[in-house]
Amino acid sequence: MNKKVAVILSGCGVYDGSEIYESVATLLRLDQRGAQVQCFAPNIAQMHVVNHLTGEEMPETRNVLVEAARLARGDIKDLREANADDFDALIVPGGFGAAKNLSDFAKNGAACSVLPDVLSVAQAFAKAGKPVGLICIAPAMAVQIFGPGVVCTLGHDDDPAAAAVREMGAEHKACEVTDIIEDSERKLVTTPAYMLAQSISDAASGIYKLVDRVLEMTAEA
C-alpha cells in the first residue's frame, strides 16, 4: 500500500504514557498493511511517573520522547519535526499519556486543553482532509482538533469521559470494543480499545479495524 502514517506516542506505559498493547497493535497492523510509519512524541517532561507494579506515583521525572522511544525501538522523532504534508494519515494510540501528556484531560476534563504542538499537527491533518485515527482515551482531544459536532467514541455512553466529551461539544456514539466509529465528514475514526477491552485480543480487534479504515480513507476522494 505504501501509505505514510504518522503515529504520535505519549510515553511508555498505560498509567503515565502510551498504552503499550494499543501502540504495538497499531504499529503491527500498519506494518502488516505495508504502511510506512514514523513515530513522534513531544520532547517534554511527563505529567508524573507511575510505578506500574503498585500504581503509585514515583518521586522522579521522565521525558515523554525518551520514554516513547522504548516503544519505537529508538526510531522516533521530536513532534516538532512532524509535517502533515509528509504523511497520508495520523494515528494516536491511547493510554493515560494521551490525557496527561498530550492533553490535560485527566486533570481538567471538559475544560481541558491540548498540548500546542499536538494540536497544531493534528489540526494540519484535519485541515488537509487527511484521515485521523484516535484510540481509547485519545478521542477526548477530538473537539479541540475538529471542532464541535465531531462524532467519536470512548466506548459506553454512560462513561464519565463520554459525558465530558459531550459537554465539550462532541457527538458521542456508543461502540463495542470490536468496532469503530467513523465521522466520514471529518475523516476521523475512533475505537474504544482499553476503555472497554478485557484482553489484548479485544483491544486489537477494534484497533485493526481502525487502522484498516484509516488506510482505506487515504485512497478515497
**Mean pLDDT, all residues of the chain:** 97
pLDDT at 1: 56
Please report the DSSP string for the chain in residue order: ---EEEEE---SSTTTS--HHHHHHHHHHHHHTT-EEEEEE--SB-S-EE-TTT--EES---BHHHHHHHHTTT-EEEGGG--GGG-SEEEE--SHHHHHTSB-HHHHGGG--B-HHHHHHHHHHHHTT--EEEETTGGGGHHHHH-TT-EE--S-TTSHHHHHHHHHT-EE----TT--EEETTTTEEEE-GGGT-SSHHHHHHHHHHHHHHHHHHHT--
What residue numbers bound the domain in which 8 lies?
4-218
For 77-127, what is each residue's pLDDT tens digit?
999 999 999 999 999 999 999 999 999 999 999 999 999 999 999 999 999
Q: Of these residues, 12, 39, 112, 136, which one is catalytic?
A: 136
Please give the tally of structural domains in the chain. Answer: 1
Given a cut of 60, is residue 221 above it in pLDDT? no
For 198-214, what is each residue's pLDDT tens digit?
999 999 999 999 999 99
Q: What mean pLDDT do residues 182-195 have?
A: 98
Q: Is 136 known to be catalytic?
A: yes
pLDDT at 220: 85
pTM of the model: 0.97
Domain containing 24 — which CATH number? Answer: 3.40.50.880
pLDDT at 89: 98
